[in-house]
Structure 1
Amino acid sequence: MFYWFLKWIALGPLLRVVFRPQASGIEHVPAEGPAILASNHLSYADWLFMPLTLPRRVTFVAKAEYFTGPGLKGWLQKTFFSGAGQVPIDRGGADAAAGALLSAKRVLGEGDLFGIYPEGTRSHDGKLYRGKTGVARLALETGVPVIPVAVVGTDVVAPPGKTFGSFTRPVVRFGEPLDFSRYEGLANDRYILRSVTDEIMYAIMTLSGQEYVDVYASRAKELSKEKDAAAKDAQKAQGGSDVPDQRAS
């Protein structure tokens, strides 16, 4: 809990003074009881600014390795992530996704707020990508409301691939809670899971104003890298053909 104390007593006020984050729709977040906060994901700074605007703690899941390192470094790392509102992925799951679901259900079962990024990874270009259905499964299996969240400006503060970008005033918008109780008992229906996920992503898109792309963010990143690599290869090939052949001289 040391870092949690540090975050709110030292880092929190500093971030508020320097960046002056704005928030709207805080009244949609319950003062007590469980809820899922489903947010877009523009930057690694999202997990810092979004909880900073709320009086309640928001818990996320992180790799189990962050909590099991040996020695002083391992202890400091564990203290950092635990205090920052993160819990390890449950190793009892068949895979990382199942383990994350188990950890999330435990957090919600204790009446806390759970934060999740349905896109699964950060957007590399500022667009909003297709959501993974884990958020829908979590909502249907626990019966708790989903609060859509849009974080804007964090990709300016901390752009992808950089530790720090430039100063701006991040904005966090909380939407009205989404109730999916009408789908009770249908958590294993993949069509329902997709429908619920798409409804959540639409709510996030409405709040963020981002362009929506119906492709998973991880795949979009791969395609972008492939396109960049192809462009570089083409440029090299074009450059090579322009170099005069010196062998005849």
Structure 2
Amino acid sequence: MTATPVFASEVDRIGTVVKVGNGLGDSALASGKSVASISQGDCKYSLALLEHQHVQFHSPDVVFLESKVIPKVEHWPRLAQAEMSAGYDWSFEENSNFKSKWFGLMCESAENFGSLSSDQSKSTDDDSPELQFVKEANDLKCPATLTKKGWVPNANAGSPENYVFHQLGGNNWSGFIFGFKNELAGSMRRINFCLVHDGDVLLGSAINSSKPSWINEKAFEEIESTLKAVIFVP
């Protein structure tokens, strides 16, 4: 794999590269000051980690976690998949009273969305019931549309007063992040983000299941800062 110049500069700055994935020689865990070079399905990207930051690979998902102590595997936030009438839906869950900052990542094809782009056809007549379900579920996880003016929240996002929305952009990708508010001022019940590179979409989410919420405006800004350092590689 040939590193891009930007990726090389991250390596020079931090010094250590850890290949994360399920390939020969890959590691399931990257921890501390390092660059995690992640191979997650068709999504291949790097994520710069600071002290006390970690990523763990559980095919097909990746979980980012910030904690001074690395928890046991069974205590990490995890991917939950639910069988539906026309396929499966997924989400990430945390243990009760979990207070560490985290988010989960999944990789998906842009073809499996119905409203990411204003140029996409609204007709789903030729889609199978399974594909229609997948598109609907993915559109709820990435509730914005790319227009000539950039990314804009769509109807799936709900009322604008109920969320914080920021556009994101990297060296070779664009995307957005949502922070969905809860009733406690300054706190959020969940964070969703989507990064689009060529025909791939890196979906991420964090959901809080305890009160008071660890997801607040500061955590939202810190996660946004972490995402801005993502670099997709060939």
Under a length normalisation based on structure 2, what TM-score does the superposition of the two structures give? 0.29
Q: Which has the higher helix share?
A: 1
More strand per residue:
2
TM-score, reference length from structure 1: 0.28
Bigger-Rg structure (1/2) = 1
